């Protein structure tokens, strides 16, 4: 009888220690991902309204082709940087989903521990220190679940901002495309060598603009995918809330049983 009780205690302590380590690991990963997001946000560069207005003004005044080509290339490079930023954000969302999945598994482990505690012999229930430890562990798990819920809400807000930014970027790219068409239709006399050079540069800009349009379409698809992921996260949080209710019910059973035994 005593050996069985000792075995149950050792098994429970081993499980709770493992969960404690997992919680600390998830916290560290969460901090790292937050810092990465801040660094990405600081380094993100897109074409500003001032630059776009200046570009349009210079086009109206008949700015040289070389200047316009340089500004168009700069705009395309900045758009590419924005796309890279969004890819990193997408990876961040996947990391968040993985952490929430681990936290769900941890919640299931907590329920198993409570069940083991309920089924243990009367002598094990009398260990007050062990009960307090389980209570602290449950509170800690609940707090982490609530933190993840808040972080998901923050992510939804950032996703909304990203969609607005995508539309603004699309408008700017359309303006650049219009400038490029105007440049194509301009009637400037040049010698054959300059015309050939300009033709090559113009074709290169066309290719880059086409690639940028394709990237924007891919970005639109990724935005839709991220929206679906946020919906999945909401469903996950709802499931976690139900798990918390079950945990609370088990806590009440443990407490009532303990009071009855005392």
Per-residue pLDDT, 248: 80
Residue 10: Cβ-neighbour burial (10 angstroms; 0-12, 13-18, 19+): exposed
Query: Mean pLDDT over all residues of the chain?
Result: 68
Measured CA to CA, the distance from residue 201 to residue 211 in angstroms comes to 15
Angle value at C-alpha 188, between 185 and 190, nearest 5 degrees: 130
- The two tokens of residue 128 are 């007050």
Residue 4: both structure tokens together: 């069985």
Answer with the residue of higher pLDDT: 149 or 52: 149
Looking at the chain, the whole-number percentage of residues with pLDDT higher than 70 is 46
The residue ranking higher by pLDDT, 123 or 240, is 240
| DSSP code string of 23-54 | HHHHHHHHHHHHHHHHHHHHH-----HHHHHH
pLDDT of residue 122: 47
Quick one: pLDDT band at residue 262, thresholds 50, 70, 90?
low
First vs last C-alpha separation in the chain: 21
pLDDT of residue 35 exceeding 80: no
Instruction: Using alpha carbons only, give the angle 63, 68, 73 rounded to the nearest 5 degrees.
Output: 170
Mean pLDDT, residues 64-81: 64
Return the top range by mean pLDDT from 63-67, 208-212, 229-233.
208-212
Show contacts of 64-69: CB within 8 Å, 24+ apart.
Answer: 65/183, 65/188, 65/198, 65/201, 68/179, 68/183, 69/201, 69/205
pLDDT tens digits for range 12-21: 444 445 555 6
Q: What is the pLDDT of residue 22?
A: 58
Q: What is the pLDDT of residue 6?
A: 37
Q: Is the pLDDT reported for residue 259 higher than 60?
A: yes
What pLDDT does residue 11 have? 43
pLDDT of amino acid 153:
74
Q: Does 55 or 98 have the greater pLDDT score?
A: 98
Q: Select the more confidently predicted residue: 261 or 246.
A: 246
pLDDT tens digits for range 113-164: 555 555 545 454 556 776 677 677 777 767 776 777 777 778 777 777 777 8
pLDDT of residue 45: 44
Q: What is the pTM of this model?
A: 0.30
Contacts (Cβ under 8 Å, ≥6 apart) of 90: 222, 225, 226
The per-residue pLDDT for range 179-210, each reduced to its tens digit, is 777 776 665 555 666 777 878 888 888 888 88
Is the pLDDT at 63 greater than 50, yes or no? no
Residue with tokens 């992921």: 229
Query: What digits encode the pLDDT tens for the residues 83-115?
Result: 676 677 667 667 666 766 666 666 566 565 555
């Amino acid at each position: 009888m005593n050996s069985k009780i000792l075995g149950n205690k050792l098994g429970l302590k081993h499980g709770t220690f493992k969960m404690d380590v997992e919680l600390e690991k998830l916290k560290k990963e969460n901090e790292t991902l937050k810092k990465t997001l801040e660094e990405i946000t600081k380094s993100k560069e897109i074409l500003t309204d001032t630059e776009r207005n200046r570009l349009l003004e210079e086009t109206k005044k008949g700015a040289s082709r070389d200047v316009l080509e340089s500004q168009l290339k700069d705009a395309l490079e900045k758009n590419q940087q924005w796309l890279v930023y969004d890819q990193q954000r997408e990876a961040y969302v996947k990391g968040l989903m993985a952490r929430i999945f681990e936290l769900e598994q941890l919640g299931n482990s907590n329920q198993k521990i409570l069940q083991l505690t309920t089924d243990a012999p009367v002598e094990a229930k009398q260990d007050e220190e062990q009960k307090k430890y389980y209570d602290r562990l449950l509170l800690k798990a609940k707090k982490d679940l609530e933190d993840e819920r808040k972080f998901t809400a923050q992510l939804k807000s950032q996703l909304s901002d990203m969609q607005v930014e995508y539309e603004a970027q699309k408008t700017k790219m359309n303006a650049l495309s219009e400038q490029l068409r105007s440049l194509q239709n301009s009637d400037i006399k040049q010698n054959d060598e300059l015309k050939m050079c300009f033709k090559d540069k113009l074709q290169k800009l066309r290719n880059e603009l086409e690639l940028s349009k394709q990237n924007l379409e891919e970005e639109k698809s990724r935005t839709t995918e991220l929206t679906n992921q946020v919906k999945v996260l909401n469903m996950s949080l709802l499931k976690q809330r139900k798990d918390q209710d079950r945990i609370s019910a088990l806590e009440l059973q443990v407490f009532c049983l303990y009071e009855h035994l005392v």
